[in-house]
Amino acid sequence: MADPANTRAQPDGATGVLVLADGSVIWGKGFGATGSAVGEVCFNTAMTGYEEVMTDPSYAGQIVTFTFPHIGNVGANAEDVESQVEGAVGCVVREAVTPASNFRAEQEFGDWLAKAGKIGLSGVDTRALTRRIRLSGAPNAVIAHEPSGKFDIPALLRRAQEWQGLEGMDLAVRVTREAGEKWGGGPWALGQGYSRAAWENRPHVVAIDYGAKDNIFRNLVKAGARVTVVPAKTSLEDILALEPDGVFLSNGPGDPAATGEYAVPVIKALLERDVPLFGICLGHQMLGIAAGAKTVKMHQGHRGANHPVQRVGEGWGETTGLVEITSMNHGFAVDADTLPAGVEQTHVSLFDGSNCGISISGKRAFGVQYHPEASPGPQDSFYLFEKFVGMLG
């Protein structure tokens, strides 16, 4: 479709570019790291939390368009990093990066991006780009930054067109940790940082890392668990050898059906043994597959900090029908029409009616599509961690 934000002619002073697989070329000012990176272009509607977004492993293989025009005002700091592994490869913003103006800032956002190896592009009509994604779906593209302003557009276009895209791609293997570890961090407090995790006399959760955000583990600790984190391809035998009271299935990037080729058999075996399970995002999707449902690639996905989700399942008592304000980041979803008998839909999106939660009858197993650890609401969803830890006895 025609778009006024796209032009073939490079304007004076352009040092960055976004080249879409359909041939559209969007110019702007580059910042952060130099070079180029390929990914799927998505948009995020949150007004804050850009550092957490850029370091969320669920964004691996993606270029994030921030719909809020002023990005950078709180700077960046080490405490807000969600993971040290790959996250978003780049970001697109409307205005030039705002100078840091926050007492917690340790770096300017642009400097932090450069150190993290992530590319930024400013001066883009992000409203037009977001509308394009909403109408036509999330496109594959290459983002590039070169201070000289010299770009080989045909080569960048070929790269965008040759990239396979996220559908069918297992990205968990790129972002999972290499070895298991006892998780040592607790909740954060202003002026104190992160506390140390208590370990003794607590139920033991084994968390499978498909691309997990660190704050998930801190919330499990806050809810009363001790946590051991293991890599994505950890075998059933190795998980059971850790003697878990429950197993957590983490968020992560890519296609759940692809990651599920090795993850779902393990999840099915845990279900058969009635091990308590809790899944978030990718973990939720693969729990759904293990229970007999299918997942689908969404047209544009859900990404933001203000997504309304309603509790619709039985068992919520007086809170059935209650609406939570949630944080989301997903481009795939469990297809509610494929949920088999014995699998209850517990939460739905009030934006489009898509599935946002399931519970498996006769099992201590449930999952949610959204991110309760991201402090939406800000505490609307912490009950999920308490619910899970309460199952462990």
- Which residues are catalytically annotated? 281, 371, 373
Quickly count: other Cβ atoms within 10 Å of residue 169's Cβ.
Answer: 18
Which tokens is 120 given?
A: 């930024």
Quickly count: other Cβ atoms within 10 Å of residue 200's Cβ.
Answer: 5
Please give the full DSSP string across 167-221, using - where no structure is assigned.
TT---HHHHS-SS-EE--EEEEETTTEEEEPP-TTS-EEEEEESS--HHHHHHHH
Helices 282-290 and 256-272 pack at an angle, to 10 degrees, of 60
Contact 205, 247 (CB under 8 A): yes
Which three-class secondary structure state does DSSP give residue 30?
A: strand
Q: Give the torsion through C-alpha atoms of 379, 381, 382, 387, to 10 deg.
A: 150
What phi and psi, each to the nearest 5 degrees, are found at residue 337? -70, -15
Q: At CB < 8 A and 24+ separation, what contacts does 20-25 make? A: 20/139, 20/140, 20/141, 20/160, 21/139, 21/140, 21/141, 21/157, 21/160, 21/161, 21/163, 22/139, 23/157, 25/153
Cα–Cα distances (Å) from 257 to 10, 53, 131, in that order, read 40, 24, 28
Which three-class secondary structure state does DSSP give residue 71?
A: coil
- Identify the burial level of 279 via C-beta atoms within 10 angstroms of its C-beta, where 0-12 means exposed, 13-18 middle and 19 or more buried: buried
Contact 383, 368 (CB under 8 A): no
Q: How far apart are CA 188 and CA 198, in angstroms?
A: 14
Which tokens is 69 given?
A: 């025009």
Which three-class secondary structure state does DSSP give residue 326?
A: strand
